[in-house]
Structure 1
Amino acid sequence: MRELVVIFGLSGSGKSFLASILHEKCGYEWLRSDVIRKQLAGLKPEESAKADYGKGIYTKEITKKVYEEMVKRAKELIDRGKKVVLDATFIKRWQRELVLKNFKDPFFILAFAPEEVIKERLKSRKDVSDADWNIYLKQKEEFEAPEEIDYCVINTNKSKEELESRLKKLLGCQLK
């Protein structure tokens, strides 16, 4: 069983859905960048902070603070014997390297879905995330290939049961 799982990918790819399965079914503590970002900004998770890409609470400086805070919280939880799942885009190499520098043997999962599925998800989303299709397209442009890590890819365009089964096999957790 892995103590730290990092689920990364573009907005709408199904990261939070996978993280929710690990949280609900395998007992992982769920650290979500969208929630942490809003907490640091003094907002409630359900409050909209919609802004253009890289603006508002989504600047590079704030993003750096969010990832550092996520790592800090993960360390504290792991030190208390908990298992943690990090849920964020991790589209930049420095973000993934921050994890590598602070944890031994993190397990990375790239969440993926066909683009037409992502477009539909983002259109109908009622969630803590403020990302929309335009944000997704900008993320896709800026995504730095994860050459510095080993990772597995999960296509999230599957049933919850199929995804639970895949995660159970990958991580060796007993589903509740």
Structure 2
Amino acid sequence: MSEPQAAFQALLTLAQRSRAAARGLPAQADIRPHWSGIGFSLMGSYFVAPIGEVSEMLEVPNHTHLPGVQPWVKGVANVRGRLLPLFDLAMFFGDRLGSSRKHRRVLILETETLYSGLIVDQVFGMQHFPMDEYTEQAGAVPSAILPFVTGSYPQGGERWSLFRPALLAEDPRFTNAAKS
């Protein structure tokens, strides 16, 4: 065998060994579209709010109490130079926050006409749910919250109710926080 033929044969052998040792491509998994939202707890129930309806999450800031407002209005805080009204969401619904003060968080709702902070028991951050598991039935939530819930997703043995802050922003009881 000539030198060029020997070299070519060596390359063929190397190529065959490489193919024999190569791993196959990973199995193609079925990709399910997911819906994402901000998970939080309130009054012992799990909720998720659409990302587009919550502009920010933060710890409960220092705030100033306001006279002549409903008891669920906690006050107003200065957040990066903007005045943020703070609302105790559980108290608005006729209950009280169940978590310790250090776990409470504020979900900031910002629309064209409203900038408000909703105090909730705890925030779990981004939650992702397979879209095909959505149901229009709410999870186990207090009846006062039902008008603001449009469905739910199961996850981790819990049913996460889809809470719509935009519906809350349209409620005249919420937008008129002055004492009667």
Q: TM-score, normalised by structure 1?
A: 0.23
Structure with more contact order per residue of length (Cα contacts < 8 Å, sep ≥ 6):
1
Larger Rg: 2
Which one has the bigger helix percentage? 1
* TM-score, L = length of structure 2: 0.23
Structure with more of its chain in strand, by fraction: 2
